[in-house]
Chain A
Amino acid sequence: MMNSLISLGAGFLDWLEAVGRAGIFIVQSLVRLPVRLGESINLLIRQLYSVGVLSLVIIIVSGTFIGMVLSLQGYSILAKFGSSGSVGQLLALSLLRELGPVVTALLFAGRAGSSLTAEIGLMKATEQLSSYEMMGVDPLRRVIAPRFIAGVISLPLLSFVFSAAGIIGGMLVSVGWLGVSDGSFWSLMQQSVNFDTDVINGLIKAVVFAVVVTWIAVYQGYECVPTSEGIGKATTRTVVLGSLAILALDFILTAAMFGDF
């Protein structure tokens, strides 16, 4: 009994310490300002490429398919109530409020998060991070900051692309294939979707997820045990912790935004 209490307390303190360290880590890497602006922008562009552009294909393809499946499922249920025209409404609301940010963030954790962790871990294992330090260059500013910022910029953009792809995919299925009328598809959608509550709240979610997932990814990479086994474990942790954090935060954010209490 005593022992389990002790281990509970110790576990909690360890966790607090890790969170604190991660917090200091990210603040330090953002606060130490870049020496030369042009170079920082160059680094950022390179990261935007590897984090954002390379994730585009998976985002567009998954978005389109999820939109198409939603339309098929939604149509078959709505048709029972004779309101198959509302399929656009269903599609837009579920994509903008939930699936856009959440699925994009999950895919992002798997695609970009894991590669960030592995890349930074490898730089640690091959002493590249120490090497920066030895040259009097802060690796937090040089390696971590551009990757973090690129992640925070990319994920919301990817989430818009995802939602747009989903709506277009859903429209192809419901209007082009199932025969929902074009007019009611768009007009019911536009009536029910509200810019402030739906588009903006989706954006807020995406930004929150972006910060959390990228943060976890770069921190796991930076703190990993610099061996091949350690990098593998850190990569797995990024995906697992990232996904759990996304889903838990999604519940909290949804309750705060749409819960009405």
Chain B
Amino acid sequence: MIYEDVSLDIPRGKITAVMGPSGTGKTTLLKLIAAQLYPDSGHIFVDGQDIHSLSRSDLYKVREKIGMLFQSGALFSDMSVFENVAFPLQEHTKFDASKIERIVLEKLHSVGLRGAAKLLPSELSGGMARRVALARAIALDPELVMFDEPFTGQDPISKGVLVELIRQLNDGSGITSIVVSHDVEESLSIADHVCILSGGHVIAQGAPSDIRASDDAQVKQFLNGEPDGPVPFHYPESVVDEQRSQR
């Protein structure tokens, strides 16, 4: 049981940041939206369609319009950077090789890695890998891009580059973006709409300025990074006992 009565709207054409402490199921939310996981109850509508009631082939068609940037980048380790970005194009379009090459180089250029096209994923730094993954996620010009913890484990420069790229992407082509993160500053700086999850509930929703102005104790604790508060510093012992007795 991860969520209780979670209900949220992702506005089209804007950047929505979903934030919350670790372990509140932010990644699970993305997997639910992409129908990689199925909910026990409830519905998720993507572009007006109940995504969990679609047939396999319809689902795959919807997914062509969704790009996802995984936490680890998830570049295919047996393909070069170029082949990685070209892969979704080869799978889902009937473009000829020269057109694919043009699109791939253009996408790589937009993330600043045109020169790295021939490298293998193992030869890239973490920040570069994430940028390649971003290029791959937008190769098919999706309507919705989901970013799973894009800033985690990045140095400040890479973070800045990624923030800039996500911003540009949204401004340039009006893509709907969902950014899942617990990096408060970066998220608030790019988001048009913020939603904070905690303990299975949506505890705050609104524009970044509203969130900053919130006087909810939980929201304040999360934004300011206070060690103790409504989310206790001490892990409750009763939970452990309960989990053990269930086994």
Interface residues of A (CB under 8 A from B): 35, 39, 46, 122-123, 126-128, 130-131, 133-138
Contacts and interface: CB of A to CB of B under 8 A. Distances in A.
B70 A135 contact: no
A138 to B, nearest CB: 8
A127 B78 contact: no
Contacts of A128: 74-77
B71 A127 contact: yes
A135 B74 contact: no
B41 interface: no
Contacts of B90: 39
B76 A131 contact: yes
A130 B63 contact: no
Contacts of B74: 126-128, 130-131
A127 B64 contact: no
Interface size class of B (residues with CB under 8 A): 20 to 34
A137 B68 CA distance: 13
Secondary structure of the B contact surface, majority rule = mixed
Given A126-B72, A128-B75, A130-B31, 13 more contacts: A126-B74, A127-B70, A127-B71, A127-B72, A133-B34, A133-B36, A133-B63, A134-B36, A135-B87, A135-B88, A136-B60, A136-B91, A136-B92
Contacts of B66: 134
Nearest to B64: A136
Nearest to B34: A134
Nearest to A122: B77
A135 B77 contact: no
A221 to B, nearest CB: 14
B61 interface: yes
8 contacts: A126-B77, A127-B72, A128-B75, A134-B67, A134-B68, A135-B63, A135-B88, A136-B61
Nearest to B62: A136
Contacts of B36: 130, 133-134
B176 to A, nearest CB: 16
A-B residue pairs, 3 tightest by C-beta: A136-B60, A127-B74, A131-B74
A6 to B, nearest CB: 16
A138 B90 CA distance: 14
A39 B87 CA distance: 11
Contact of A131 (B61, B68, B78, B91): B68
Given A136-B63, A136-B91, A136-B92, A130 B70 contact: yes
Nearest to A50: B78
A21 to B, nearest CB: 17
A161 B173 CA distance: 58
A46 B83 CA distance: 15
Contacts of B34: 133-134
Interface in B38-74: 60-61, 63-64, 66-68, 70-74
A14 B109 CA distance: 51
Nearest to A39: B90
